[in-house]
Amino acid sequence: MQRVYRGTRRARAPASAFAYLRGGPALALAGGVRTRLALLTVAAACHPPPPEPPGVAGPCVGHRVQRVEVDGAPAAAVPQLAVLEGALDEPDRTARIEALALAAVRAEGYADARLSVRRRAGCGVVLEVAVELGPRYRIRAIRFDTDDDFPADARLAVVEDALGRVNTVGGTYVAYRLVRALAQLERRYHDAGWLEARIGTPRARYLAGEVSLAIPVDAGPRYRIGAIRVRGGAAADRQLVAGLVGLRAGQAYDGPRVRAAIERARRARRRIALRAQVADDRPEV
């Protein structure tokens, strides 16, 4: 539809456009959808969304760690810090994790490793992690400071790890694995009759990319079996159990052998209890 104004011919805007301005999309539908879409497109072009900061993925959140940048080593070398990306920014927690990450790196054989974390504010917080690994120390020698009769090769076999690549002469020194292995070695001492054995903290001496380890061992006396008594039940049962146990007075205490003997006896006679007593005045069980 067209109207003429004072001799000038002008096109009238479609009714749908005026309906949109007066009453919103519901009225505009009656006048035509095309006009409404055109108006919405113009409005969106006039108010574009704010651009994201360069190098930052996702929305800008000021109280979270946006990125963790590791320099000097792969991010896998400090996984404790790498996983902070996206977490809430808590400086005290970051400082604690920094200390844990440094201890973990040094435990992997990098005894001279250094680590520092710097916080850079912006759109969120960026953690800049600087890592200096230094040399990875190889083991030059392992010495057990003791004069007991525990087999020397058995000691070394217990502390060796990773198929001869860790905590063995020529291998990498990994402190936390050695501590774990020494706890196992102490149990081996107990099973071999040194019931009071204690293994101390290793002493490490570093020199030119190599480390020498000295491990103190306080073995104490080696215990022996003083007597074996079978009580209760019929005489035939006691004789059977004594034969199945197969232990003799005077033998060195052997934990695995004692446990195996008791298991054999229990399979024959289920209701069997073991009571061990350590002598007060002599190393006997």
Mean local confidence (pLDDT), 179-183: 95
Look up the pTM and report it.
0.61
Residue written as tokens 């574009």? 48
In the chain, DSSP finds a helix count (H) and a strand count (E) of: 9, 9
Q: What is the pLDDT of residues 58-102, one digit of tens each?
A: 566 668 999 999 999 999 999 999 999 999 999 999 999 999 999
The amino acid occupying position 35 is: T
The model's pLDDT over 92-147, given as tens digits with 9 standing for 90+, comes to: 999 999 999 998 898 888 988 999 999 998 788 999 999 999 988 999 999 999 99
Residue 76 DSSP code: G
**Total residues found in the chain within this entry:** 285
On the CB side of 14, CA atoms within 13 Å amount to 15
* Torsion (CA) 109, 113, 119, 120 in degrees, nearest 10: -110
Q: Between helices 255-268 and 175-191, what is the axis angle to 10°?
A: 60
Instruction: Please report the pLDDT score of residue 233 as a whole number.
Output: 72
Greatest mean pLDDT range, 39-53, 162-176, 212-226 = 212-226
pLDDT at site 204:
93
